Amino acid sequence: MSTPNGTGEDGTDLDRSTVVYDLDSQCGVEDVETGNKYHATVNGVVEYGVFVDISEQLSGLVHSSNLIGTYDVGEELIVELDAVREDGDISFVEVQVAEYETEPVGPGTRAATVDFEEIAGEQAHLDGQAVQIKQTGGPTIFQVRTPNRVVPCAAFEEAGVRAYPGVELDDYVRVTGTVEQRDGAYQLEVDNLSVLSGEAAEQVEDELTSSDAIGAADVEPLVEWPAFEKLRDDLSAVATRLRETVLSGRPIRIRHHADGDGLCASVPLQYALERFIEQTWEDPEAPRHLLKRLPSKAPYYELEDVTRDLNFALENRNRHGQKLPLFLMLDNGSTEEDTPAYENLAHYDVPILVVDHHHPDPDAVQQFAEHHVNPYLHDEDYRITTGMMCVETARMIDPDVTDELRHVPAVAGIADRSEGEAMDEYLELAAEEGYETPDLRDIGEALDYATYWLRYNDGREYINDLLNVNCDDRDRHERVVNLLSERAARDVDNQLDAAMQHVTEEDLDNGARLFRIDVENHARRFTYPAPGKTTGKIHDRKVAETGDPVITIGFGPDFAVLRSDGVRLDIPEMVAELKEDVEGAGVSGGGHLVVGSIKFVSGMREEVIEALVEKMAEAEIDEELGSSAVTPEEA
Amino acid sequence: MSTPNGTGEDGTDLDRSTVVYDLDSQCGVEDVETGNKYHATVNGVVEYGVFVDISEQLSGLVHSSNLIGTYDVGEELIVELDAVREDGDISFVEVQVAEYETEPVGPGTRAATVDFEEIAGEQAHLDGQAVQIKQTGGPTIFQVRTPNRVVPCAAFEEAGVRAYPGVELDDYVRVTGTVEQRDGAYQLEVDNLSVLSGEAAEQVEDELTSSDAIGAADVEPLVEWPAFEKLRDDLSAVATRLRETVLSGRPIRIRHHADGDGLCASVPLQYALERFIEQTWEDPEAPRHLLKRLPSKAPYYELEDVTRDLNFALENRNRHGQKLPLFLMLDNGSTEEDTPAYENLAHYDVPILVVDHHHPDPDAVQQFAEHHVNPYLHDEDYRITTGMMCVETARMIDPDVTDELRHVPAVAGIADRSEGEAMDEYLELAAEEGYETPDLRDIGEALDYATYWLRYNDGREYINDLLNVNCDDRDRHERVVNLLSERAARDVDNQLDAAMQHVTEEDLDNGARLFRIDVENHARRFTYPAPGKTTGKIHDRKVAETGDPVITIGFGPDFAVLRSDGVRLDIPEMVAELKEDVEGAGVSGGGHLVVGSIKFVSGMREEVIEALVEKMAEAEIDEELGSSAVTPEEA
Amino acid sequence: MSTPNGTGEDGTDLDRSTVVYDLDSQCGVEDVETGNKYHATVNGVVEYGVFVDISEQLSGLVHSSNLIGTYDVGEELIVELDAVREDGDISFVEVQVAEYETEPVGPGTRAATVDFEEIAGEQAHLDGQAVQIKQTGGPTIFQVRTPNRVVPCAAFEEAGVRAYPGVELDDYVRVTGTVEQRDGAYQLEVDNLSVLSGEAAEQVEDELTSSDAIGAADVEPLVEWPAFEKLRDDLSAVATRLRETVLSGRPIRIRHHADGDGLCASVPLQYALERFIEQTWEDPEAPRHLLKRLPSKAPYYELEDVTRDLNFALENRNRHGQKLPLFLMLDNGSTEEDTPAYENLAHYDVPILVVDHHHPDPDAVQQFAEHHVNPYLHDEDYRITTGMMCVETARMIDPDVTDELRHVPAVAGIADRSEGEAMDEYLELAAEEGYETPDLRDIGEALDYATYWLRYNDGREYINDLLNVNCDDRDRHERVVNLLSERAARDVDNQLDAAMQHVTEEDLDNGARLFRIDVENHARRFTYPAPGKTTGKIHDRKVAETGDPVITIGFGPDFAVLRSDGVRLDIPEMVAELKEDVEGAGVSGGGHLVVGSIKFVSGMREEVIEALVEKMAEAEIDEELGSSAVTPEEA
């Protein structure tokens, strides 16, 4: 701490060694405090004592009665500020300090520690880190990170010309200037900006890295759930990293699975992060510039997506002086299929965080992701949904969002068919907020339906209304959810009306019943529900009708969607075998153990599906094993 | 009326009770008028009378000869302004008024009644309604609606902080401030802004709702046409609603059929509304912010479109303080298929206006639409095209657009094959402007061709050139129309060259000739003309060749387009029956009586088309019945 | 030249007649120079001479010893400025000049000839051409072109009101004003702006058109190559036209083939032009507003593209006062298929430049294109790639880009399989920069791969990194190229793994071997490589395996891609014949002699392909003829 106002009146602060302040020559009376100690230089010797300077503007008398030694002009001593009289006269007392630390003090109020509004128009200074340097047509804007907020500092060299070209991104700096308002935000009009080094830089670094503003809030989970406890540290680390990312001026790009759980994960985090940015950045545009949420088209992070994301990020760096973003993958990102995209990001030194509950390929992911949170890494499974994890993470970022999120884990759980032990408690929590189970199901279906029609637009406001997060009208929320969930149900009914009678059935050797549906020829195309969801709905009906182990295959010209209940499948393994067994079929795909999808060249469909069915007929029956939560849907 | 200048010189206005003005203390000589009555306070008593204040700045003598009572300093009386001499001396006459209304008067010129340029830099005040409240990084901008214009009022509390937080959208307010220029627009820099209530509020409301600016202009239709007369009141109501919408600060989003008639409807309205916004809003950016025209992808208003429109509207509300828009559906919007989208809008209390000439489902639409104008509701039909209706509506909004629109109804009529009685007159009108019938046909084809390639972009400038509305170069208009219409004709010829020999023919039992074409396998795909138009062109050739009753079916894997001449079909009824009769086919669709389209799952194509042909073979022949106007086109 | 400072100290300049300057009344001492001649008026007669005015502010003595004639007050004479003393006193010498030209001089420094920074805040004037006139909400901005830069001149009449409405685009003007900074750019705050006419206008026109800034730089080609020499004048004309276009305020829209050579052509030109705009325009936003690069979706310039380009250009004209752009077609644009788009542009008087190496249809193109550069027009061929040509053109625009482009022609040559004589030299040049042949191949594959995933987004920054042009981190360049080229190779391998065993083979009568592959049914769809590239890779393998003359056909439902080696095909001729021979097949297409593609209606595929194969069986075998460079790829 370099503030001269922060320490005790005397040297009794046991935790800290004595501090002697070394004032900048420009310091005025607003920078000093009675009882603090200062380095002083004798500027005149008189009969009754010596006059000393502690800055160009601050001189005063050390009366001979308060002098310990004898001094000539130019000699240095340490004095304690005794009093500042109303007429401006200052008196000092010489002190002797065996051991002390010198702290430099810039002129003016320390800007980081007071409310800007109080010191508008005044001189101020701050120490911090230059986390963004943007050259505008006019001044150069340095966004300077202090322990708990990021302050724009405008330095004008010449219009459009980089001021202080020696200052580089992430340098530790000392800024002196005047507090001014501009376009609604306070900023420091820079008089001087210098790079700190050595001890001074380390001190600032210490202040920033030890700031309370970084650490995740220590909130109690919404429900007690031993399985979830294993993940808390991981999530807390993610929350800390995200808060630190905001303060470090790095934008955050959220990419999430375009389904109910993906939205229950990403929307709360978006909300909490926006609030945190508002609290810490003076620039009112910062939430818009630093945060972007986008659903991914595929269930994994495709090269198409990453290519565009990267190009967008590179343009923002060039045009707005932004750092390249941190990528936060939610409800996807855990599989080997994500790694080509990650590798691309890695070449740009872009950090990646993954929070997911899909079956992971930890080795592939962990060489790229800074954090990889996944229940499977702790011997848990998909039943801890990403939405459940991210609601807690959002609360660690801003505990004040809690009241708006109590129903969200239940929505996520129902949307992803979680049978986690905590579901009952989550449902109860939601019920306390007035959401009964059918309401939660409707929200999930409405989110799914809206996502389909938004076609990978983020649909920010509309989605907030549907999930009732950051939404100001619960009544409207309910009406819109009712409308969309009814439409979704009607469209599913229409689809199954056409499709069900074209479903064929056969009995496999292992006793499972296999249903097939040609979703290209016997379902409506290019409308809701898409082939994957259509297959899932048919499967659900067949499971309900038969009560037997059931496998359902929905196939198109070059793909098939697989669902199973009560059969011990290992779809990723099957796909790997088919690649070998069926030559010239271009087989790819995967998914979870008992639910997945597969692609092939259309001319080899018959061969691939027959080989697949053969394998299925060999699988063990397992009455206890349910279908996995996540239905991959492809058109 | 709170203007002191608005009433008669004496109390003889029989319709209104006497008004006594209560001046704000800041009022000056520009706020008063000889003959008006004012509340006054005695500030000095002299031999020859009393000096009274009617504001801090306005004092004068009531000569004893003009005094009725006797008054001490501080006592109140009512005076009439007798004279303001050149030297500034003011004289009053005391009056006694048995019954009166007091009207407060703010200081300065009444801003709404004078040209801002004249009073730039001066104090002014206005009463009105806060129709938009936008928080900028600096001041809060209140857009205040007065009887005939909308004035930006900038109130600064603290940068980025909402000024006058008690003022809500649509409150009636009194604003006092200085007239300043900012970014090219005049605005009032607010000194004071207060919410009016009770009588004062009612008075403002009266002024706004009775303003001439709202009412549609009373223009004579371009042609005399009894059938059209039935619709005039409906269209006038729409024009009034649109003018009122502009003044009320609500954006307008035009969604229209992406064809010739749809453009002849929407482009003139866009033009007239842009002009009206320019005339009534000081903010030069208002036309861009308040109006957006977009073609719809489907012949009805799809869930995909409405989902995006809504999300866009919600974002504009949050980011720019805009109201949610009014939706104006043109040349579509009348059918049951539009209602899911409408229901979605209804939950956001968004007004909907529909002007259409497609066969309507009035019950479905009227529960959502504030106005539903459709000739079928008045026992007329598609022959009154939407373009014809909207040209008249545009003229009711701004009569000055008339000269640029005389040819447009004829373009609309030809594009939609209208055989309305007024077509001859419309053609004559166009001919007077130099457009012969082939020119009009070319414009229609060029619009259709451009729309195809613009792929649902609005193509604003280009379309204006093609239709020669809001276009400054007729020569270029002609050259571009020639080019595109030639290209369109050539592309149609190329398409039919390939397709015609694959057309199969059979005779139905009822004597009609049925032609079939596989537009997926025997026409070029993904180019102009699309399957619907291709089918229509084949049909037209066959009608011309044979002279017989003709039905044409253009089918793809999961759809069929239907055209007929001389056969009494009822396609909506047929579709309804097919839904029942052909199970598992997922039949949907509809259209007009004798032209339409149908969808099904591709695996059931044969069954559906055979069942359809059977029904067609039973239809009555009607030599008089022509093909309907509107060709549904789907790719 | 109207600058008083530009000529010699005496009259010895033999090339020019003597100039006598006529100063504006506002001219001060900064506008004159010792030794120049001025028109003067006598304002006082004294014993020792006469006092003369050469402007209101500049008066001085002509001593009687320096007087030739005798003058009264008000009489005029010509004087030469003798000296300006430190105390401001000015002395003149009368001169007699038999023949001279009068040049008017505005007050203040001539803005075009000095550094703005030096005269910030001072009065200045300039003569030039108004190349852009933009009405802002505040002032009207005239962008005034002087011989070597374009200067914004802000004239304020009234906010949002057009100042100097008599001034039209491209008028020659004289501007007087104060040099001010605004938003990072220097501009002239206009005091007066007048249109020049007659001689004065001609003089300015001469200055602008004879300016060195227009002419292409005379750079030596990177390699000596006689074939290339034939094209140099054409390319120099293109470079000159582009520099002139920048100075004339017309935006440039680059449309290029979406492949390796297209990027090697467009990226260097984009870079050189951006730099040239930065050098010549004061407005720092100019590079963004004046230049846009976009890959074309098809191998020719489609109506869809031109329709959107035009509409975009028309909107920019209306909203930003921009001229309509010049269109620069790179690595496509030479064929008859481009002409419908060109015709559309022609109606808007939009200039078109084409630099291409595809087999051209010169007659079709030259009626629209101002310049059409193509090696085939000089009896050369595709081996001179567009990238090679454009690297030289970029250097003619800005020679300083040379060092960053030395490797680019080699990339282009490899990407397009050029076997030009200069390839060895280009490879050597690249090797000197550290790029070995495999590196260059990898860059080409990486560009191809990135383009596929960018899906016609320009991907500016990412592409710059891949090509290492305007990229600041070679290490990252290498890593990203490695990643993408590896991915591309892996995806090709995967595709061929599936496809190769479905390739059928037959021997044609002429001895060529024909391979066929159904790329719809036996290759993965909607992924890299697309059908065209897939066919090309299969073809390459078959050529390598067999060493025989080889033809490969990759067909889908309604298209076929053709590749051949060692066979004298003439694909454009074949397509023309098939159009005639196979009725009802809707055949279209084309390409190069030995590589191309063809489209047809899917129902006639068999007939078309059989007829095509028959023709191929008749073609002559030519062992020397290799496959052409450019692989058309279509999905």
Question: H or E stretch including A83?
Answer: strand A76-84
Residue of C nearest to A137 (CA): C184
Distance of alpha carbon A572 from alpha carbon A590, whole angstroms: 5
Judged against a pLDDT cut of 90, whether residue C337 lies above it is answered with no
pLDDT at B111: 62
| Structural domain includes residue B468 | no
pLDDT at B624: 55
Confidence of residue A408 (pLDDT cuts 50, 70, 90): very high
Distance of alpha carbon B53 from alpha carbon B75, whole angstroms: 11
C270 with C293: CB under 8 angstroms?
yes
Cβ neighbours for B24, distance < 8 A, ≥ 6 positions apart: B55, B104, B105, B106, B107, B125, B176
Cis peptide before A529 (omega within 30 of 0): yes
Round to the nearest angstrom and report the end-to-end CA distance of chain A: 59
pLDDT at A159: 65
pLDDT at A158: 72
pLDDT at C7: 36
Looking at chain C, the whole-number percentage of residues with pLDDT higher than 90 is 57
Closest Cα in chain A, distance from residue B512 (Å) = 31
pLDDT at A122: 81
Q: By C-alpha distance, which of A212, A630, A230, A210 is closest to A392?
A: A230
Q: Please indicate, yes or no, whether residues A294 and A350 belong to a single structural domain of this protein.
A: yes
Q: Please indicate, yes or no, whether residues A615 and A554 belong to a single structural domain of this protein.
A: yes
DSSP B14: T
Contact at CB, A558 and C457, closer than 8 angstroms: no
Q: Picking from A112-116, B21-25, C395-399, which range would have the lowest pLDDT averaged per residue?
A: A112-116
Q: Please indicate, yes or no, whether residues B390 and B522 belong to a single structural domain of this protein.
A: no
| Structural domain includes residue B439 | no
Q: Average pLDDT for residues A414-420, to the nearest whole number?
A: 90
Residue of A nearest to C450 (CA): A307
A77 with A40: CB under 8 angstroms?
yes
Q: By C-alpha distance, which of C55, C320, C284 is closest to C182?
A: C284
Contact at CB, B314 and A524, closer than 8 angstroms: no
CB-nearest to A524 from B160, B314, B601 is B601
A118 with A11: CB under 8 angstroms?
no
Distance of alpha carbon C78 from alpha carbon C36, whole angstroms: 10
Question: H or E stretch including B126?
Answer: strand B123-135
pLDDT at B183: 62
Contact at CB, C502 and A584, closer than 8 angstroms: yes
For C578, the token pair is 């098939």
pLDDT at A32: 80
Closest Cα in chain C, distance from residue A534 (Å) = 22
Where is the domain boundary, A209, A241, A272?
A209
**In Å, how far are A179, B123, C619 from A172, measured between CA atoms?**
20, 50, 74
Closest Cα in chain C, distance from residue B69 (Å) = 54
Q: Which residues of C touch B184 (CB under 8 A)?
A: 136-138, 159-160
When comparing pLDDT for B99 and B325, which is higher? Answer: B325
Structural domain for A78, as ranges: 12-105
Q: Which residues of A touch B138 (CB under 8 A)?
A: 183-184
R_g (Cα) of chain B, nearest Å: 32
Judged against a pLDDT cut of 60, whether residue C627 lies above it is answered with no
| Structural domain includes residue A220 | no
Whether the predicted interface score ipTM is above 0.90: no
Cβ neighbours for B365, distance < 8 A, ≥ 6 positions apart: B333, B334, B335, B338, B339, B342, B354, B372
Q: Average pLDDT for residues B275-294, to the nearest whole number?
A: 91
Q: Please indicate, yes or no, whether residues B203 and B271 belong to a single structural domain of this protein.
A: no
pLDDT in tens, C39-84: 999 999 998 999 999 988 789 999 999 998 889 988 999 999 998 8
Q: Which residues of B touch C347 (CB under 8 A)?
A: 476, 479-480, 483
Q: Please indicate, yes or no, whether residues B312 and B398 belong to a single structural domain of this protein.
A: yes
Contact at CB, B461 and C159, closer than 8 angstroms: no
Q: Which residues of C touch B522 (CB under 8 A)?
A: 584, 601, 603-604
Beta carbons within 10 angstroms of residue A162's beta carbon? 14
pLDDT in tens, C230-287: 999 999 999 999 999 999 999 999 999 999 999 999 999 999 999 999 999 988 889 9
Question: H or E stretch including A552?
Answer: strand A550-555
Q: Please indicate, yes or no, whether residues C93 and C113 belong to a single structural domain of this protein.
A: no
Where is the domain boundary, A105, A132, A158?
A105
Do the strands C595-599 and C588-591 form a parallel or antiparallel pair, or are they unpaired? antiparallel
Q: Please indicate, yes or no, whether residues B237 and B347 belong to a single structural domain of this protein.
A: yes
Cβ neighbours for A108, distance < 8 A, ≥ 6 positions apart: A26, A27, A28, A30, A31, A122, A123, A124, A125, A176
- The DSSP bridge partners found for residue C126 are C175
For B4, the token pair is 């002191």
A311 with A349: CB under 8 angstroms?
no
| Structural domain includes residue A475 | no
Contact at CB, B307 and A454, closer than 8 angstroms: yes
Question: H or E stretch including C38?
Answer: strand C37-46
| SS3 assignment, position B155 | strand
CB-nearest to A137 from C284, C521, C522 is C284
Judged against a pLDDT cut of 90, whether residue C211 lies above it is answered with no
| Structural domain includes residue A244 | yes
Q: Average pLDDT for residues B195-199, to the nearest whole number?
A: 86
Q: Which residue has the tokens 């004597």?
A: B511
pLDDT at C23: 86
Contact at CB, C314 and B461, closer than 8 angstroms: yes
pLDDT in tens, A597-611: 899 999 999 999 999
Confidence of residue B7 (pLDDT cuts 50, 70, 90): very low
CATH of the domain at C333: 3.90.1640.30
Probe site for chain B from C156, C311, C367, C368 (most B CB atoms < 10 A): C311
Residue of A nearest to B603 (CA): A521
When comparing pLDDT for A480 and C11, which is higher? Answer: A480
Q: Please indicate, yes or no, whether residues C276 and C163 belong to a single structural domain of this protein.
A: no
Contact at CB, A525 and B315, closer than 8 angstroms: no
pLDDT in tens, C416-473: 989 889 999 999 999 999 999 999 999 999 999 999 988 878 888 899 999 999 988 8
CB-nearest to B494 from C137, C586, C602 is C586
Confidence of residue C159 (pLDDT cuts 50, 70, 90): low
For B254, the token pair is 């035009």
Contact at CB, B522 and C601, closer than 8 angstroms: yes
| Structural domain includes residue B123 | yes
Distance of alpha carbon C623 from alpha carbon C618, whole angstroms: 15
Q: By C-alpha distance, which of A582, A372, A390 is closest to A467?
A: A390
Q: By C-alpha distance, which of B591, B517, B501 is closest to B554?
A: B517
Contact at CB, A318 and C518, closer than 8 angstroms: no
Judged against a pLDDT cut of 90, whether residue A430 lies above it is answered with yes
Q: Which residues of A touch B344 (CB under 8 A)?
A: 480, 483-484
Q: Please indicate, yes or no, whether residues C155 and C98 belong to a single structural domain of this protein.
A: no
Chains interfacing with C (3 or more CB pairs < 8 Å): A, B
Judged against a pLDDT cut of 60, whether residue A128 lies above it is answered with yes
A2 backbone dihedrals φ, ψ, rounded to 5°: -105, 10
CATH of the domain at C17: 2.40.50.140
Residue of A nearest to B345 (CA): A480
For A270, the token pair is 């978006």
Q: Which residues of B touch A285 (CB under 8 A)?
A: 137
When comparing pLDDT for A431 and B590, which is higher? Answer: A431
Confidence of residue A243 (pLDDT cuts 50, 70, 90): very high
Q: Average pLDDT for residues B226-254, to the nearest whole number?
A: 96
B377 backbone dihedrals φ, ψ, rounded to 5°: -75, -10
Judged against a pLDDT cut of 80, whether residue B525 lies above it is answered with yes
C535 with C561: CB under 8 angstroms?
yes
Report, in this order, helix, strand and coil percent for chain A, each rounded to 5: 40, 25, 35
Amino acid code (one letter) for B64: S
Contact at CB, A498 and B138, closer than 8 angstroms: no
Q: Helix C474-499 and helix C437-454: axis angle, to 10°?
A: 70
pLDDT in tens, C465-487: 999 999 888 998 999 999 999 99
For A21, the token pair is 């302040």
Chain C: residues touching A (Cβ < 8 Å):
117, 181-186, 284-285, 450, 453-455, 457, 459-462, 465, 476, 479-480, 483-484, 487, 494-495, 497-502, 518, 520-525
Judged against a pLDDT cut of 60, whether residue A468 lies above it is answered with yes
| Structural domain includes residue A450 | no
Residue of A nearest to B162 (CA): A184
| SS3 assignment, position B274 | helix
Contact at CB, C502 and A303, closer than 8 angstroms: no
Q: Please indicate, yes or no, whether residues A247 and A197 belong to a single structural domain of this protein.
A: no
DSSP A281: B
Beta carbons within 10 angstroms of residue A40's beta carbon? 28
pLDDT averaged over every residue in chain B: 87
Q: Please indicate, yes or no, whether residues A390 and A258 belong to a single structural domain of this protein.
A: yes
Q: Which residues of A touch C184 (CB under 8 A)?
A: 136-138, 159-160
R_g (Cα) of chain C, nearest Å: 32
Give the largest Cα separation in chain C, rounded.
Answer: 114
pLDDT at A183: 62
CB-nearest to B483 from C314, C343, C585 is C343
B356 with B384: CB under 8 angstroms?
no
Chains interfacing with A (3 or more CB pairs < 8 Å): B, C
Residue of C nearest to A319 (CA): C288
**In Å, how far are A2, A39, A42, A70, C488 from A53, measured between CA atoms?**
20, 9, 6, 16, 71
Backbone torsion region of residue A316, taken as left when φ is above 0, otherwise alpha when ψ lies between -120 and 50, otherwise beta: alpha
Q: Please indicate, yes or no, whether residues B302 and B414 belong to a single structural domain of this protein.
A: yes
CB-nearest to B584 from A186, A455, A502 is A502
| SS3 assignment, position C247 | helix
pLDDT at B311: 87
| Structural domain includes residue B52 | yes
Give the largest Cα separation in chain B, rounded.
Answer: 114
pLDDT at C388: 97
C37 with C20: CB under 8 angstroms?
yes
Judged against a pLDDT cut of 50, whether residue B329 lies above it is answered with yes
Where is the domain boundary, B177, B209, B241?
B209
Confidence of residue C113 (pLDDT cuts 50, 70, 90): low
Give the largest Cα separation in chain A, rounded.
Answer: 115
When comparing pLDDT for A12 and C218, which is higher? Answer: C218
Question: H or E stretch including A133?
Answer: strand A123-135
Cβ neighbours for C540, distance < 8 A, ≥ 6 positions apart: none
When comparing pLDDT for A630 and C584, which is higher? Answer: C584
pLDDT in tens, B69-128: 889 988 999 999 998 887 878 999 999 887 887 777 765 556 666 677 777 788 888 889
Alpha carbon A84 to its chain centroid, in Å, reads 49
Round to the nearest angstrom and report the end-to-end CA distance of chain B: 59
Closest Cα in chain C, distance from residue B629 (Å) = 27
Beta carbons within 10 angstroms of residue B357's beta carbon? 30
Contact at CB, B304 and A455, closer than 8 angstroms: yes
pLDDT in tens, A85-107: 878 889 999 998 878 877 777 66
pLDDT in tens, C562-620: 999 899 888 888 998 999 999 999 998 877 777 888 999 999 999 999 999 999 999 98
CATH of the domain at A545: 3.10.310.40
Distance of alpha carbon C581 from alpha carbon C609, whole angstroms: 12
Distance of alpha carbon A250 from alpha carbon A326, whole angstroms: 7
Looking at chain C, the whole-number percentage of residues with pLDDT higher than 70 is 93
Cis peptide before B529 (omega within 30 of 0): yes
Q: Which residues of A touch C450 (CB under 8 A)?
A: 307
Question: H or E stretch including A254?
Answer: strand A252-257
pLDDT at C5: 37
pLDDT in tens, B412-450: 999 998 988 999 999 999 999 999 999 999 999 999 999
Probe site for chain C from B116, B519, B522, B538 (most C CB atoms < 10 A): B522
A554 with A538: CB under 8 angstroms?
yes
Q: Average pLDDT for residues A570-584, to the nearest whole number?
A: 90
Q: By C-alpha distance, which of B1, B3, B247 is closest to B110?
A: B3
Q: Is the dihedral of CA C292, C294, C300, C301 positive or negative?
A: negative
The domain tally of chain C equals: 4
